[in-house]
A = this chain, B = another copy of it.
Amino acid sequence: MTESTRPMRRQDIRRENEKAILLAAEKVFAEAGFGGATMQLIADLAGLPKANLHYYFATKEELYRSVVQNIFEIWLQAANCFDAARGPVDGISSYIDAKMEISRRHPDGSKVWASEVMHGAPVLQDYMESTLREWTDGRVEIIRRWIEEGKMDPVDPRHLLYMLWATTQHYADFGHQIETLNGGKSLSDRQWREAKENIKRVILTGIGAQPA
């Protein structure tokens, strides 16, 4: 760690430990699910004694909640690409890029999020009913406008969004399956690019998207 450096300031200690715990927790929750994860495992992975975890996060639930909220933030940020766009080609392309990047860089987070939703969103139900709903309604409106302006075919905006979420998250959540079918090797840079291009091409063509 930072053994040979000068002693850390309190603030730094707090930040670094919380970060290490959250990172370890994300991995363990992703691999074992909430029920299968143990504080001991997370502690070991973070390189801290278990009691120290409880110093920063009172309960397993609280730690889990923090992890899930982190993911949700990242998830929502990817959405900004959508707003600045002038048309479906631009907006959907960059959204797919962003979400595929998340699937590649934060597969654990993606899995935790998927798990949370699959189990009925016990922790994030309120977020889904407020933040997520507002975000979705906003994008639906944008897509609807694109359709009105003749920039794409009249596809149901909600189902289009579900399709975008599904196809991109699949590469994280079902990454193990994809790897297995890829001869046990994780996708190469090239394969990730192909995956992205394929999704973009099929969807953009599929909705009859017109540039600009």
Contact = CB atoms under 8 A, between A and B. Distances in A.
Interface of A: 30-37, 111, 114-115, 117-121, 125, 128-129, 132-133, 136, 153, 155-156, 158-160, 162-163, 165-167, 169-171, 173-174, 176-178, 180-181, 194-195, 198-199, 201-208
Identify whether the interface residues of A are mostly helix, strand, loop, or mixed: helix
A166 B162 CA distance: 10
A118 B159 contact: no
Contacts of A156: 194, 198
A133 B165 CA distance: 25
Contacts of A119: 31-33, 36
10 contacts: A33-B33, A34-B36, A114-B173, A128-B181, A129-B180, A132-B181, A159-B199, A166-B167, A166-B174, A201-B206
Contacts of A136: 181
